[in-house]
Structure 1
Amino acid sequence: MDPVVETIRQEFAAQADPGIRKNAQRFFKEEARCYGMKTATAISIAKKYWKEVKTRDKQEIFALCEELYRSGMMEEAFVVSQWAAQLADRYEPGDITVFRHWIETYITNWATCDGLCNHAVGDFIVRYPDEIEELKRWTQSENRWMRRAAAVSLIVPAKHGEFLDEALAIADLLLTDTDDLVQKGYGWLLKEASRKHTDEVFSYVMANKRDMPRTALRYAIELMPKDLKAEAMKKDW
């Protein structure tokens, strides 16, 4: 084990709170393994140790991330999310295969999925927009976290008005997904896209609401004016 990983684990163990650990489980349907601490505490520890590893070669940092992921502990996954995002100015096109491997192999709940994808994978897509095609392939995976990842990786750029067509294309591919966490993922993506493109997202929802699960629909219209919400929620069948 790399000494920095061992030190991080020791610090997490020292900060662990059994009360927070017990309480954390209520946010997840699946088992969530964690030390038990506020997310902000875990992130501050990640930032602290980033100062020690940031001068290392990118592949070496990726190897440290893999070592952290292998524990299955949520806070260690949060360290990976922080460190991977810090590497954004060193990304190369082939790095998407690393992210795909991590999601397929180590992601086991919505928090670790969103932690990695909202920033690291999203930043990667902004730098290499052609890799949207890879996200589209993820929508066809049997792995629910790959499918959710396809949507939530565009959350931040969508919030800023970018990738509208691509967001709608991914929503199309996930439209009738039966998994509620995937539905919430693409619904969230549409909601963020609606900040700058209310009319377009409303039109999309109205055109697809007969097929769109109510969970996704409610997320998608959350930020819209009351009259548009009411129109979207009308049952016209």
Structure 2
Amino acid sequence: MNNEYIQVIHSLLMKYEHKDDAVKMKKYMRNQFEFFGLRAPQRKELVKFLIKKYGMPPEEHFNEIVYELWELPERDYQSIALELMDRKIKHFKEKDVELLEYLIIHKSWWDTVDWIASKHIGAYFVQYPQNKKDITRKWIGSGNIWLQRTAIIFQLKYKKQTDEELLYSYINQCLGSEEFFIDKAIGWSLREYSKTNPQSVRNFVDKTPLSKLSKREALKVMKKNKCVFLKN
């Protein structure tokens, strides 16, 4: 841990450490990661204090610090890295997609991937829309379930700006995957888009051989709202 900024983060994590919660968190995450045991409010408090006292990482070292945080064993380091990324959202550089892709495919699990996809990737393509199709097409065809999941869910917060054709195309390309995280992503993306265009989602669900999980997730909001639809 050569970087002074990361040493400060380590010292703060040690102060917040809660071993009983760390055990529970490790179990919840299927024993894939170690933890210091910080809950989200504590982590946010830590990051707020960190930035207030030490500032954000210097721009010229920002990516280096994120990469190093990603290599450390405790999951709290990756979460803090993403908290710092949150504060950079409005200032992404075009090449930052390389960093984001790295974070998606290393130490991959739903907690970090969904955070990156819905917040960072979603914001990145708003700033650099010219890159959206080429990059996400590469991801959907990559065979990596986490890149595929990202390509399916990065538009979660787009609402009326959702590229419907792109979303449906990517879902169709992933049909029959029998991968839980893909089926769940399909249902999640459709459920969110149904809040904006329920008729379109209903039509898509009716004509598409979705898995039971995807279909159930896709229809949740519409069933709750008892939507009435036009016949195709």
TM-score by length of 1: 0.84
Deviation, 1:55, is: 6.8
CA–CA distance in structure 2, aligned partners of residues 175 and 151 of structure 1? 12
Structure 2: segments with no counterpart, 5+ residues:
none
Residue 211 of structure 2 aligns with an amino acid whose one-letter code is P
Matched ranges for 1:57-72 at <5 A: 57=59, 59-72=60-73
3-state SS of 2:160 partner:
coil
Task: Name 2:203's counterpart in structure 1.
Answer: 203
CA–CA distance in structure 2, aligned partners of residues 206 and 164 of structure 1? 20
CA–CA distance in structure 2, aligned partners of residues 168 and 30 of structure 1? 35
Task: Name 1:91's counterpart in structure 2.
Answer: 92
Matched-pair contact (CA < 8 Å) for 1:147–1:182: yes
1:69-125 CA-to-partner distances (Å, cap 9, x unmatched) read: 111422211112222222122222222122112222x23210011122221111101
Matched-pair contact (CA < 8 Å) for 1:30–1:109: no
Task: Name 2:13's counterpart in structure 1.
Answer: 12
Deviation, 1:205, is: 0.9
CA RMSD of aligned residues (A): 2.3
Residue 23 of structure 1 aligns with an amino acid whose one-letter code is K
Task: Name 1:141's counterpart in structure 2.
Answer: 142
Structure 1: segments with no counterpart, 5+ residues:
232-237
Deviation, 1:227, is: 8.7
Matched-pair contact (CA < 8 Å) for 2:57–2:65: no
Residue 214 of structure 1 aligns with an amino acid whose one-letter code is K
TM-score by length of 2: 0.86
1:24-78 CA-to-partner distances (Å, cap 9, x unmatched) read: 2443346133221212222332233244343722x41111111111114222111
1:222 paired to 2:220: yes
CA–CA distance in structure 2, aligned partners of residues 66 and 146 of structure 1? 18
CA–CA distance in structure 1, aligned partners of residues 131 and 220 of structure 2? 29
Matched-pair contact (CA < 8 Å) for 1:2–1:64: yes
Task: Name 2:83's counterpart in structure 1.
Answer: 82
CA–CA distance in structure 2, aligned partners of residues 142 and 53 of structure 1? 39
Cα distance, 1:149–1:43 mapped onto 2, change above 3 Å = farther
3-state SS of 2:221 partner:
coil
- After TM superposition, which residue ranges in structure 1, 4 or more long, deviate above 4 angstroms? 226-229
3-state SS of 2:5 partner:
helix
Instruction: Figure out how many residues of one structure are paired with residues of the other and give that number.
Output: 224
Task: Name 2:40's counterpart in structure 1.
Answer: 39
Task: Name 1:124's counterpart in structure 2.
Answer: 124
Matched-pair contact (CA < 8 Å) for 2:26–2:35: no
Percent identity over paired residues: 15
Matched ranges for 1:110-189 at <5 A: 110-133=110-133, 134-157=135-158, 160-165=159-164, 166-189=166-189
Deviation, 1:180, is: 0.1
CA–CA distance in structure 2, aligned partners of residues 163 and 197 of structure 1? 10
Cα distance, 1:177–1:47 mapped onto 2, change above 3 Å = farther
Cα distance, 1:39–1:92 mapped onto 2, change above 3 Å = same
3-state SS of 1:204 partner:
helix
